Amino acid sequence: MLTLIYLLAISAEAMTGALAAGRRNMDIFGVSVIAFLTALGGGTVRDILLGRYPIAWTQHPEYVALVIASGIAAVLISRHMKRLNRLFMFLDALGLIAFTIIGCDVALAMNYHPLIVLLSGMITGIAGGILRDMLCNRVPIVFLRELYASVSMLVGLLYIGLFTLKIDHDLNVAACFALGLLLRLTALKRGWRLPAFNYRHDMH
């Protein structure tokens, strides 16, 4: 079930990356690279930071093929994507939660400290989007936008908490999806965001 959601999620993330690349007038190759990094970049950064080799996608070439195909498909049908906006927001939220849980699981299995487990979940959840934005030459949207990283953090905290309490795993995962979807979709609807700073003194 988590694997199915994961596959859906990496496809959806690849599509958002591809559309961002398409907006920058990139060619089909640029679109593929950005699709790949958006979908699989978070897990890659996590594996490198935790020293978990071989890196996940190097053992699953079918994931690589899936995200590149999804990215190219997205730009080919981009004129129809506007109508799918809501579906995408939903898939993106599912993906954020699935990535966070998977990232926590990886670090838990390697016996890292709970704070590092939480970071592992958040990195898996959001680093792909950060890489996408760096390559598209813009300040990462996740640092500016409505609750996104915060959702990843709260889901991670809940997951680690229930895991420590030895709650049944399926129940734990279900609770994480319920909390995450509720928070993310409400944040999107209401335009919630964290307080931003606007510090002007040019010290550096």
Residue numbers at the binding site for its own copies (CB under 8 A): 16, 19-31, 33-34, 44, 48-51, 53-55, 58-59, 61, 64-65, 75, 78, 81-82, 85, 88, 112-116, 119, 130, 134-144, 149-150, 153, 193-204
Looking at the Cβ atoms of 3 and 59, the one nearer to its own copies is: 59
Q: 49-57 long-range CB contacts below 8 Å, 24 or more apart? A: 49/120, 49/123, 50/106, 50/107, 50/110, 50/112, 50/120, 52/106, 52/110
To its own copies, the closest distance from the beta carbon of 175 in angstroms equals 23
Give, in order, the Cα–Cα distances in Å from 42 to each of 3, 101, 178, 200: 16, 13, 22, 32
Give, in order, the Cα–Cα distances in Å from 199 to each of 104, 141, 192, 195, 204: 34, 18, 21, 13, 12
Looking at the Cβ atoms of 27 and 168, the one nearer to its own copies is: 27
Looking at the Cβ atoms of 23 and 174, the one nearer to its own copies is: 23
Give, in order, the Cα–Cα distances in Å from 53 to each of 59, 74, 102, 135: 10, 31, 16, 25
To its own copies, the closest distance from the beta carbon of 1 in angstroms equals 26
Looking at the Cβ atoms of 168 and 202, the one nearer to its own copies is: 202
Task: Report the alpha-carbon distance of residue 133 to residue 38 in Å, rounded.
Answer: 9
Task: Report the alpha-carbon distance of residue 98 to residue 96 in Å, rounded.
Answer: 6
Phi, psi dihedral angles at 196 (to 5 degrees) = -100, 155
Looking at the Cβ atoms of 143 and 163, the one nearer to its own copies is: 143
To its own copies, the closest distance from the beta carbon of 198 in angstroms equals 5
To its own copies, the closest distance from the beta carbon of 173 in angstroms equals 24
Looking at the Cβ atoms of 24 and 190, the one nearer to its own copies is: 24
To its own copies, the closest distance from the beta carbon of 51 in angstroms equals 3
To its own copies, the closest distance from the beta carbon of 53 in angstroms equals 3
Q: Which residues pair with 193 in a beta bridge?
A: 146
